[in-house]
């Protein structure tokens, strides 16, 4: 675990106002690229003489995958008037590669495909809701050749072309406690414009999905010039455009350094040409200088636990957890444990017991006595985040309950959860800004992700949206890290439940191996930098080196279920 720095106390400073990028640093569209790497761009081919309407439309779609600025070859498939007016900037619609352009009349062609998703002008990806993408284009004869007369602004890219041409980079903002940066994934065309594009997006602010749950230290600033990169060191020259705020630059420094880290080795930050003054931080800053804000930091004490025959056990060797919870006296069916990253000590234990049709949430110190807090017909397995000593659960499938350190349960407003169906799983992200939720629907469990919003003493869960509509029969979910999820869902081809990995925005859905498991998995647990755990066939397994193996090397599987990691 990276050590925390002493600078994070000031990181909640919010700078008022909003801004645009000055003309000396023009905003770079997500469809634009400068000096693209040779292995990114593709060679767009101009229309052939005598091409049919379907061939012209297919050529236009393929030419839109070019990274050449302004897409000059794609414009050759358009009429002269359309080529002058068509805008290739702004949004990008990503469709499946098995699309079909079909002539629907003498001069119209309809494109049909599955819509994978949409990338807006800020580079934010929204997954397609399993809808069919259709677009009808009108073609006319111009100089004896068919040309498209009414192209829709923006780009339409096949999924493989989009994946090859665009890079996903996390724009980081701050959680409300100022102790972690929170990823907000964005897509950019590969090339030398990426650092400038990324800083532009940071200044513009977080995506709509998480805007109410994070702070943006760059509010009230703008770029004086494009970001310059020399020898893998980026120089970011800012100016304040709004009065007020705190003169300490710790928050914006951490935000810029973590965001630019995938693109450069270090970052120099200037405000009106002068170096920022952050005590103890060098002029060339790296993530090592802001390790305390690591989005995936996990306390050393966060070792796996699980429930077996009502008792809480430790996954490293199957031993009983300390205190009465480890003896089975409470009859636990699920549990969660808080961990203190500063002291590296386990804090509070929340457990759910079930008997006689009643579920009870028990709460108390890890290793100590637990007391009942609330009862219900059902309670979801409790969940914790690394940024606050609190536990959450959902009562009777509809009421979100938060238990702060004081131990007094509070109902959390979750208006967008109403009508979604009963909640069966609720998992906080490591930074506590997002919540992954499984709700029961017509096709079984569905995965949603929402934002935790805090203001004064009010806490709410908002903007719940589907991030993996292709998955059905979802039974469990865990946060692999701050920006991605592990999901257990049905697989019709295998007629069983299998694990999947997916980004928090719905991008990069892929299956995870079943190798080594005795049967289909039923529950899952994960945290950053730890091996994911699943229960399968009444025993516990961990994912190591691409294969699921027993928890104790050389020993047989340990009986148990409901794995968990303290946070």
- On the question of pLDDT at 458 being above 80, the answer is yes
pLDDT in tens, 49-102: 999 999 999 999 999 999 898 999 999 999 999 999 999 998 999 999 999 899
In angstroms, rounded to a whole number, what is the distance separating the alpha carbons of residues 546 and 159? 26
- The CA distance from 382 to 149, in Å, is 57
124 and 270 inside one domain: no
Give per-residue pLDDT as tens, 126-135: 999 778 999 9
Residue range 10-36: mean pLDDT, rounded = 39
Per DSSP, the residues of 296-358 read T---TT---EEEETTEEEETTT-PBPSSGGGGTTT-EEEEEEEEETTTTEEEEEEEEEEETTE
Q: Give the CA radius of gyration of the chain.
A: 26
Clarify whether residues 338 and 470 are in a common domain.
Answer: yes
Q: Is 171 contained in some domain?
A: no
pLDDT band at 344 (very low <50, low <70, confident <90, very high): confident
Residues 402, 256 share a domain:
no
- Kindly state the average pLDDT of the residues 444-458: 92
Cβ neighbours, 10 Å, residue 421:
18
Asked whether residue 107 is assigned to any structural domain, the reply reads yes
Task: Looking at the structure, tell me whether residues 112 and 133 fall in a common domain.
Answer: yes
Burial readout 184-202 (b: 16 or more C-beta within 10 A, e: otherwise): bbbbbbbbebbbbbbbbbb
pLDDT at residue 23, rounded to an integer:
34
Number of domains the chain contains = 3
The chain-wide mean pLDDT, for the chain, equals 91
Dump the DSSP string for 353-380. EEETTEEEEEEEETTS--EEEEEES-BP
Helix (H, G, I), strand (E, B) or coil at 253: helix
Q: How do residues 492-547 score in pLDDT, each as one tens digit?
A: 777 899 999 999 999 999 999 999 999 999 999 999 999 999 999 999 999 999 99
Here the CATH number for the domain that contains residue 441 is: 2.120.10.30
Residue where a domain terminates, one of 293, 318, 353: 293
Residue span of the structural domain in which 246 resides: 6-27+193-293
Last residue of a domain, one of 258, 293, 328: 293
pLDDT of residue 43: 74
Identify whether residues 85 and 124 lie together within a single domain.
Answer: yes
User: CA-to-CA distance for 176 and 186, rounded, in angstroms?
Assistant: 21
- Is the pLDDT assigned to residue 1 strictly greater than 90? no
Q: Are residues 479 and 519 in the same domain?
A: yes
How far apart CA 514 and CA 537 sit, in angstroms, is 13
What is the band of 451 on the pLDDT scale with cuts at 50, 70, 90?
very high
Closest CA to 498 of 513, 509, 485, 484: 513
* Closest to 27 measured CA to CA, from 170, 199, 187: 199
What pLDDT shows up at residue 247?
A: 56
Q: What are phi and psi of 343, to 5 degrees?
A: -90, -10
% the chain with pLDDT above 90: 82
How far from 58 is each of 62, 260, 489, CA to CA, in Å? 6, 37, 36
- For 194-252, the three-class secondary structure string (H helix, E strand, C coil) is HHHHHHHHHHHCCCCCCHHHCECCCCCEEECCCCEEECCEEEEEEEECCCCCCCCCHHH
Res 248: pLDDT = 66
Q: Are residues 147 and 267 in the same domain?
A: no
Asked whether residue 13 carries a pLDDT value surpassing 80, the answer given is no
Q: What's the token pair of residue 316? A: 């490293």
The 10 Å CB-count burial string (b at 16+, else e) for 209-226 is bbebbbbbbbbbbbbbbb
- On whether both 412 and 319 belong to a single domain, the answer is yes
- DSSP-derived letter for residue 532 is -
Would you say residue 173 lies in a domain? no
Mean pLDDT to the nearest integer, 442-469: 92
pLDDT higher than threshold 80 for residue 31: no
Residue 391 has pLDDT above 50, yes or no: yes
> Does a structural domain hold residue 374?
yes
Residues 161 and 82 in one domain: yes
Tell me, yes or no, whether 10 and 69 share the same domain: no
Q: What is the pLDDT of residues 506-518, one digit of tens each?
A: 999 999 999 999 9
Does 44 fall in a domain? no
**Distance (Å) of CA 47 to CA 8, 175, 365:** 57, 51, 71
β 166-174/391-395 pair status: unpaired
Contact 561, 522 (CB under 8 A): yes
268-304 pLDDT, tens digit per residue, is 999 999 999 999 999 999 999 999 999 999 999 999 9
255-277: pLDDT as tens digits: 999 999 999 999 999 999 999 99
Domain boundary among 252, 268, 293: 293
**Eight-state DSSP code of residue 285:** B
Give the pairing type, strands 233-240 and 266-271. parallel
Q: For residue 48, tell me if it sits in a domain.
A: no
Q: Is the pLDDT of residue 39 over 90?
A: no
Q: Is 147 helix (H, G, I), strand (E, B) or coil?
A: strand
- Kindly state whether residue 39 falls inside one of the protein's structural domains: no
Whether 266 and 202 map to the same domain: the answer is yes
Q: What are phi and psi of 437, to 5 degrees?
A: -130, 135
Same-domain pairing of 393 and 522: yes
Tokens linked to 241: 């455009």
Inter-axis angle of helices 250-260 and 194-204, nearest 10: 140
35 within some domain:
no
Secondary structure (3-state) at 463: strand
pTM of the model: 0.90
pLDDT at 474 over 50: yes
Contacts 24+ apart (CB under 8 A), 104-107: 104/136, 107/53, 107/138, 107/139, 107/140
- Residue 42 pLDDT grade (very low, low, confident, very high; cuts 50, 70, 90): low
Residue 548 tokens, joined? 């699921």
What does the DSSP assignment read for 3-55?
PPPGGGGGTT----------TTSPPPPTT--SS--TTT-----PPPTT--HHH
C-alpha–C-alpha distance, residues 177 and 245, integer Å: 17
pLDDT digits (tens, 9 = 90+) for 150-205: 999 999 999 999 999 999 999 999 999 999 999 999 999 888 899 999 999 999 99
Please state whether beta strands 221-223 and 233-240 pair in parallel, antiparallel, or not at all (unpaired).
Answer: antiparallel
5 vs 219, higher pLDDT: 219
Tokens representing residue 186 in the block: 């964005």
10 pLDDT more than 80? no
Q: From CA 546, how far away is CA 552, in angstroms rounded?
A: 17
């Amino acid at each position: 675990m990276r050590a925390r720095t002493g600078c994070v106390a000031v990181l909640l400073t919010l700078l008022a106002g909003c801004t645009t990028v000055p003309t000396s640093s023009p905003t770079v569209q997500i469809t634009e690229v400068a000096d693209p790497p040779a292995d990114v761009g593709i060679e767009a081919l101009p229309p052939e003489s005598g091409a049919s309407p379907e061939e012209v439309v297919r050529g236009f779609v393929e030419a839109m995958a070019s990274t050449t600025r302004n897409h000059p070859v794609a414009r050759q498939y358009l009429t002269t008037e359309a080529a002058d007016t068509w805008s290739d900037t702004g949004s990008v619609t990503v469709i499946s590669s098995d699309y079909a352009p079909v002539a629907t009349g003498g001069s119209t062609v309809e494109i049909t495909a599955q819509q994978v998703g949409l990338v807006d002008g800020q580079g934010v990806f929204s997954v397609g809701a399993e809808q069919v993408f259709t677009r009808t284009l009108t073609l006319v004869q111009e100089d004896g050749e068919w040309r498209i007369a009414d192209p829709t602004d923006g780009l339409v890219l096949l999924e493989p072309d989009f994946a090859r041409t665009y890079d996903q980079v996390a724009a980081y903002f701050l959680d409300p406690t100022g102790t972690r940066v929170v990823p907000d994934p964005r897509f950019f065309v590969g090339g030398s414009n990426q650092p400038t594009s990324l800083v532009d997006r940071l200044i513009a602010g977080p995506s709509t999905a998480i805007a109410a749950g994070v702070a943006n230290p760059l509010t009230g600033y703008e770029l004086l010039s494009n970001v310059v990169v020399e020898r893998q060191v980026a120089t970011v020259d800012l100016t304040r455009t709004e009065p007020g705020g705190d003169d300490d630059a710790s928050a914006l420094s951490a935000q810029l350094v973590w965001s630019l880290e995938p693109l450069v080795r270090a970052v120099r930050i200037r405000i009106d040409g002068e170096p920022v003054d952050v005590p103890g931080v060098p002029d060339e800053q790296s993530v090592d200088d802001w390790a305390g804000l690591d989005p995936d930091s996990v306390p050393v004490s966060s070792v796996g636990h699980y429930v077996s025959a009502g008792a809480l056990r430790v996954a490293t060797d199957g031993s009983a957890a300390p205190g009465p919870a480890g003896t089975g006296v409470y009859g636990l069916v699920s549990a969660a444990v808080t961990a203190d990253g500063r002291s590296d000590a386990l804090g509070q234990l929340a457990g759910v017991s079930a008997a006689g049709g009643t579920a009870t949430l028990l709460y108390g110190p890890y290793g100590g006595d637990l007391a009942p807090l609330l009862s219900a017909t059902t309670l979801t397995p409790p969940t914790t985040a690394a940024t606050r000593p609190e536990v959450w659960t959902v009562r009777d499938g509809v009421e979100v309950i938060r238990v702060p350190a004081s131990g007094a349960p509070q109902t959390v407003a979750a208006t967008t959860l109403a009508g979604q169906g009963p909640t069966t799983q609720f998992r906080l992200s490591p930074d506590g800004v997002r919540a992954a939720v499984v709700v029961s629907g017509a096709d079984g469990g569905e995965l949603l992700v929402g934002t935790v919003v805090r203001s004064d003493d009010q806490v709410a869960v908002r903007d719940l949206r589907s991030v993996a509509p292709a998955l059905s029969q979802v039974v469990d979910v865990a946060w692999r890290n701050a920006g991605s999820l592990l999901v257990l869902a049905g697989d019709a081809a295998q007629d069983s439940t299998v694990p999947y990995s997916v980004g928090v925005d719905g991008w990069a859905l892929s299956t995870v191996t079943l190798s080594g498991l005795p049967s289909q998995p039923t529950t899952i647990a994960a945290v950053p930098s730890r091996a994911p755990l699943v229960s399968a066939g009444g025993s516990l397994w961990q994912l190591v080196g691409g294969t699921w193996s027993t928890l104790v090397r050389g020993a047989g599987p340990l009986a148990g279920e409901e794995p968990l990691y303290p946070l």
